[in-house]
Amino acid sequence: MVVSLADKLEFISVRATVFRQGILSLVLASLGSLVGGIILGTFSEMLEFFPGLMIMVPAAIGMRGNIFASLGSRMSTSLHMGEISRLSRSPVITGNISASLFLTIIVSFFLGALSRTTAHIFGFASISFVDLVVVSVIGGLISSLLILVFTLLVAVQSFLRGWDPDNVTAPLITSVGDLITLPCLFIATRFLGARFVVFAAIVVVCVVSGIIMVKRRTPLPTRIIKDSLGILVISACLSTGSGLLINSRIQQFLIMSGLLTLVPPFLEGGGALGGILSSRLSTGLHLGMIESTWRPSSDALEDFSVITLLGITLFPAIGVLAFGASTFLGLDFPPLYLVVQACLYAGVLIAVVVCFLSYYAAVASTRFGLDPDSVVIPMISGFMDFLGTNCLLVALVALGIA
C-alpha cells in the first residue's frame, strides 16, 4: 500500500495536535502537582506527627484522579456522541455527579480502613482506625466538591472551544486532585478533636447513601457504580502499596525533604499519560473508530508513539521542576543530573507499560460489556502509582540517591 504525501502530512498534523494539546495539559498538570509536592515537602513535620498518614497519601491523591478523570472521560464521550452539549440539568450530568460523590464517600471510608490495616500488618506506626477514616472521608469530600466543579467546567469548555477533551481532561483533573487533596487532608486533621462524633456521622452518611442508591436504582448511576467500585477498590490497594513503599523509606525522604516534591508530579505523570491514552481509546471504541481486537490497530500504535514521546519529554522535565522548586524553598535535594537521569529511566519504562496496559484494559473491558470510560482510568492510575513508585525508588536507589 502506497502512502501519499497528503496522507503523511495529515498523519503528522493530527499527531502533532495530539502532542501539542497533550504536552500543554501535562506541563500544566505537572506544575499543579509540583505545588502538591511542595506542600508535601513543607508539611513533612505533619507526616511525623500523624504516623501512617503517608501510607494513605498516594491512594488519596490517586482516588480523586481516578473518580473524576473517569467522570471527565465519560463527559468527553457524551459530548462527542452529542448526548450533552453544555452544562445543564440533564440525566447524564446529574447521574454522573451523584455516582461520583457516592463513590468518593464509600472508597474514602475503605481507604482509611485499608491504610490502618496495612500499617498494622507491616508493623508501621500509625494513628488509629477512626482517625484515618475521619481524615480520609472529610478530606475526600472537601476536595471532591471542588474537583467536581472543575471537571465539569474543563470537559464542557474545552469541547466548546474546539479542543478535544480526551487530550486535556485527565491530566488537568489529576493535577488539580494533587493540588487540592493534600491541603484538604491536612485540613481534615482538625476534625480529629471531635473524631468519634464525626466518625458516627460518616457511618450514617455511608449507610443512608447506600440505601438511597439501592432503592432508586437509577440506570446511569447504578451502572457507573457497578462498573467502577471494584476497580476503584483494586486501585486503592495498589496505591496503598505505593504509600507503603514510600513509608518504608520515610526517614530518607524526611532527611532529604526535597525528594517529596517529586512524588505527586511523578505519580501524576504516569496516571495522566494513561488517562490521555485511555480517554482516546474509550472514545474510539464507543464511536467504532477502533476495533476491540487483541492486536493493536495502526491508529492505536500511532497513539502509542505519541504517548511515549510525551513520556520521554515529561519525566525529565519533572526532575528539573522539582530541583528548581526545592532550591528556591531551601529544601535538601540531590544533584540535578542524577535526578533527571533517574526520572528518564523510570519514565521510559512507565510510558511503554502504560501504552500496552491501557490498550488491553480498554479492549478487555469492552469485550466484557463494561464501560471503558469508567474502568480503564482507575485501573491504569492505580497500577501506575504502584509501578511508578517502584520505578522511581529503584532508580533513586540504583543511583545512590535514596
Say if residues 257 and 44 touch (Cβ distance below 8 Å). Answer: yes
Q: Tens digit of pLDDT for each residue in 174-222?
A: 777 777 887 888 889 999 989 999 999 999 999 998 888 888 777 888 8
What does the DSSP assignment read for 129-166?
HHHHHHHHHHHHHHHHHHHHHHHHHHHHHHHHTT--HH
Cα distance between residue 305 and residue 280, in whole Å: 14
The grid coordinates of residue 127 equal 494513628
The H or E element containing residue 309 is helix 298-329
Q: Tens digit of pLDDT for each residue in 256-309?
A: 777 777 777 777 777 777 777 877 787 777 777 777 788 887 777 877 888 888
Number of domains in the chain: 1
Say if residues 54 and 250 touch (Cβ distance below 8 Å). Answer: yes
Cα distance between residue 396 and residue 402, in whole Å: 5
Cα distance between residue 35 and residue 178, in whole Å: 8
Number of Cβ within a 10 Å radius of residue 153: 11
Number of Cβ within a 10 Å radius of residue 162: 6
3-state secondary structure of 330: coil
Say if residues 177 and 154 touch (Cβ distance below 8 Å). Answer: no
| Residue range 338-367: mean pLDDT, rounded | 84
Confidence check: pLDDT of 14 > 60: no
The most confident of the ranges 10-14, 84-88, 267-271, 314-318 is 314-318
The grid coordinates of residue 210 equal 447506600
| Residue range 119-141: mean pLDDT, rounded | 91
Burial of 295 (0-12, 13-18, 19+ CB in 10 A): exposed
Q: pLDDT confidence of 103, banded at 50, 70, 90?
A: very high
- Amino acid identity of residue 183, one-letter, is P
Residue 73, C-beta contacts closer than 8 angstroms, at least 6 positions apart: 166, 169, 170, 275, 278, 279, 282, 373, 377
Confidence check: pLDDT of 24 > 50: yes
pLDDT of residue 129: 93
Model's pTM, two decimal places?
0.72
Confidence check: pLDDT of 7 > 60: no
Q: Domain of 188?
A: 5-398
Residue ranges of alpha helices (H) inside 249-297 are: 250-255, 263-287
Confidence check: pLDDT of 91 > 90: no
Instruction: Provide the mean pLDDT of the chain.
Output: 80
Q: Tens digit of pLDDT for each residue in 223-268?
A: 888 888 888 888 888 878 877 877 777 777 766 777 777 777 777 7
pLDDT of residue 402: 62
Confidence check: pLDDT of 6 > 70: no
pLDDT of residue 65: 72
Cα distance between residue 303 and residue 317, in whole Å: 21
3-state secondary structure of 305: helix
Say if residues 30 and 179 touch (Cβ distance below 8 Å). Answer: no
- Amino acid identity of residue 24, one-letter, is L
Residue where the block lists cell 512507565 = 350
Query: Quick one: what percent of the chain has pLDDT higher than 70?
Result: 86
Residue 215, C-beta contacts closer than 8 angstroms, at least 6 positions apart: none
3-state secondary structure string across 195-226: HHHHHHHHHHHHHHHHHHHHHHCCHHHHHHHH
Confidence check: pLDDT of 344 > 80: yes
Say if residues 181 and 36 touch (Cβ distance below 8 Å). Answer: yes
Confidence check: pLDDT of 2 > 70: no
Q: Which residue has the higher pLDDT, 376 or 14?
A: 376
